[in-house]
Chain A
Amino acid sequence: MIAVIGLAAVFVATAGAALTAWRGWQASARGATSSVLALRNAVTLMLLGALVAMVALQLAILSHDFSIAYVARNTATTTPFVFLLASGWAALEGSIVLWGLVLAGFAYVAVRRVEMGDGLGALALGIVGLVGVFWFGLMATVANPFAVCVDAAAVGCEAQAWSPFAGAVAAAEGLGPNPLLQNHILMAVHPPMLYLGYVGLTMPFAFALAALLRGERGKAWLDRTYRWSLISWSFLTFGILLGAWWSYEVLGWGGYWAWDPVENAAVLPWLVATAFIHSAVVQRRRGMLQAWNFALVISTFALTILGTFLTRSGVVASVHSFTQSPVGPALLGFLGVVVIGSFAIFATRIHLVASAPRLESLASREGVFLANNLLLTVFALTVLLGTMYPLLVEGFSGRQVSVGRPFFDRVTLPIAFALLLAMGVGPITPYRKARATIVWNRIRTPLRVALVAGAVFVVWGVRSVPTVVVVILGVFVIGVIVREFTRQLGRMSGDRSRMERAGTLLRRDAGFWGGQIAHIGFALAAIAIATTTALAVRTEVRLQPGEAEVVSGYCLEYLEPFVRDEPNRRVEGARVLLLDASCTDAFRLIEPRINRYPGATQPVVTPEVRTGLFEDVYVSLAGGNADQLVLDVFVFPGMWLLWFGGLIVTAGGLWSFGARTLVRRNGDEGAAITGDERPRPVTVHGDRDG
């Protein structure tokens, strides 16, 4: 029954998406009076279908309906409630349902702002509809989340059929989620965050493509999608942060970032989206980089599809494994259509919409923005090359290769230096043409403070040159921002309290200050990455029960091994007491462990981390037996600063998002912005006239 309802809902959503595409095109071409209402109805239909599909899938999961193959393969009766909910989007088919739902939800929000006679908005929604046709079409065909199980295994499902009317059989028990996914609560939150970011980036893409197709000059498409870009970017940032944190807390190899293709897939669109939200400022303020912005926004969207392809097709394990499921080739085909189609439109129509005002001087805010964009683009190209190279080599020569971490680390380091430098100088460099004396005046004091901070680190015993450089640059970035903030605060008149004035300042120019908040977070994270990389200490300890050993200023006492049976897993671990260096005062009991999940080929090694203000103690099982325990003990100084910095970056993005308009100052627009702005709406709200 659920299979029928679910698949029917998917078909409704597909029809809604197709109707959205059709009505959007129609409304754009004709501007007929009734067409906007029809467009809204089409989007509503798409959203309703997607909602019912998700609810049906969740009902099937929560009621343990193992006659649905997806439920039998990805959940079990013993799965805890939170992970049951998360299973709705944790595996391939479910993740596409979530994708479609988020897309339809975003389209629903966007269509509220499309008024009659608004051709750009209508066509953009039409393009969103086309994207929706692909995702819902995928669900309706090769990735049907409601495929029924026709041959039950003892546990799980052996074979499935697409038709909901096939004779369904249900196993008594399901396989349960992927062990890595049910090992930590973060895994329930991390994918939706990434998806909110990925899918949100469809909006600027759709508006950009619509502007190109309509040959609409001006920055209307940018103004109308700037907040979409910001909110998507914030979600993406937060998603990547959660992923790194999860990797640190769960995977037990003693790190948070491995330049794994799956991680690169998330960071690639982030890099280009970051370049875009910066270069968008230049176009909105100065009218420059118009063609460049189109290229960036198309690339960002293409990279989100590439990311999905890399993570969802199995191509990472082996080039040849992605054809095992038709979803891989379908995603690759869609990627090809997006890249070739959008860039063909870009190449043939860009002359209609973009003109390039001259850069007056490289020594200007625009110049630094340009440098920032160049750096981020090179960064993204590098990561893309390093990620795709093994796939290309294997595809052509059949040999498997991997690109080592040293490649990514070495390339990233100089780019990160340059980015931090641009981040420090950029925000206080005037537009148009900057005089050296002005810039020097604004950076003089922060530079001194930063050099002192660097010296403190050297005296403290840090000998790694890159670490000291990052600390100097990071403190410099923060110093410049703090100085500029206090300077502007000092110029504000009035007898209100300092806090009130600070609040007003942050709100008055929220776009700018949100960016600066993000910069502070980024600088903090960079300092944390540099110090934890250089100062982390790894020790291997062998202990017998009752034995204690002092490691890196801590005393570890092995109490006893334990085995604990939990509903969904068996936990084997060691109770270890963490004490101070003299082995007298206990901090706490830690339990590094191995989690074994039924139905999974490999168990999961889970470390235990004690987070402190100055350093983290990270203990992971490295092997051994009942008589002798082998522990990997890492000490990471100032680790929390990385997570804190990441949160500040996200907060900065959200603060900018909260800003209603970025550009309110008059008289500072680039002279080249001509052509019509967004057409005047005929009615204030289309939904009031029905």
Chain B
Amino acid sequence: MGRHRRLLLPAVLLIVVLGLVTFLLLDNTVFFNTPTELMDQPASEERQRLGGQVVANSVAETAGGVRFEVTDGRRTVAVMHTGAPQALFQEGIGVVVEGTWDGSVFSSDAMLVKHDEQYRTSDGEEYVPGEPIAP
């Protein structure tokens, strides 16, 4: 029995730690949405990501950042971005922004940098700037 008692402490510790880790994991999960998916959702305080293509002629500088629209070829979402956009930011390119959704405008404070130089749509197709994505 001594052998089993010895294992008890590490086992309990491991379970507690993994429980904590799982809790943190669920707490830090950020959902990724296309504009179509996002617009089907109610307003939420939860942080989420929005990915799509920057609509041509939609970019305007604001006091604290930049305002633009993101589309997936079907629906379009207005984005208010706080902070400087990335150096590569321009109309027609694919972006991923992170922030909150109030039901009409997506407030973003982070533009993401990808390791991969190519953005992909959810079905794995390569994103070609200037072309609408197949729905």
Interface residues, chain A, CB within 8 Å of chain B?
Answer: 178-180, 251-253, 260, 262, 314, 317-318, 320-321, 324, 356, 358-359, 370, 374, 378, 381-382, 385-386, 389-390, 393, 399-404, 406-407, 410-411, 540, 594, 600-605, 620-623, 630, 632
Contact = CB atoms under 8 A, between A and B. Distances in A.
B84 A374 contact: no
B115 A260 contact: yes
Nearest to A382: B21
17 contacts: A260-B115, A317-B116, A374-B14, A385-B25, A386-B25, A399-B37, A400-B33, A403-B25, A403-B30, A404-B47, A540-B83, A540-B84, A594-B87, A600-B117, A601-B117, A601-B126, A602-B118
Given A318-B120, A411-B21, A403 B29 contact: yes
B84 A622 contact: yes
B96 to A, nearest CB: 9
Contact of A178 (B24, B28, B117): B117
A623 B87 contact: yes
Contact of B25 (A253, A407, A601, A604): A407
A647 to B, nearest CB: 24
A382 B19 CA distance: 11
Interface string B7-41: 00010011001100110110111111100010000
A179 B89 CA distance: 18
B113 A251 contact: yes
B117 A605 contact: no
A513 B134 CA distance: 60
B86 interface: yes
Given A317-B124, A389-B25, A623 B115 contact: no
Nearest to B10: A374
A437 B83 CA distance: 56
A407 B20 CA distance: 11
A404 B21 contact: no
B84 A623 contact: yes
Interface of B: 3, 6, 10, 13-14, 17-18, 21-22, 24-25, 27-33, 37, 47, 49, 83-89, 93, 113, 115-120, 122-124, 126-129
Contact of A324 (B6, B22, B124): B124
Contacts of B31: 399-401
A180 to B, nearest CB: 6
**Closest 6 A/B residue pairs (Cβ):** A321-B124, A407-B28, A400-B32, A621-B87, A253-B113, A404-B28
B32 A402 contact: yes
B77 to A, nearest CB: 16
B128 A401 contact: no
B32 A623 contact: no
A403 B24 CA distance: 10
B50 to A, nearest CB: 11
Given A385-B22, A601-B128, 6 more contacts: A386-B25, A400-B32, A540-B83, A601-B117, A605-B86, A623-B86
B23 to A, nearest CB: 10
Contacts of A632: 84
B33 to A, nearest CB: 8
B29 A389 contact: yes
A622 B49 contact: no
Contacts of B115: 180, 251, 260, 262
A382 B14 CA distance: 11
Nearest to A183: B117
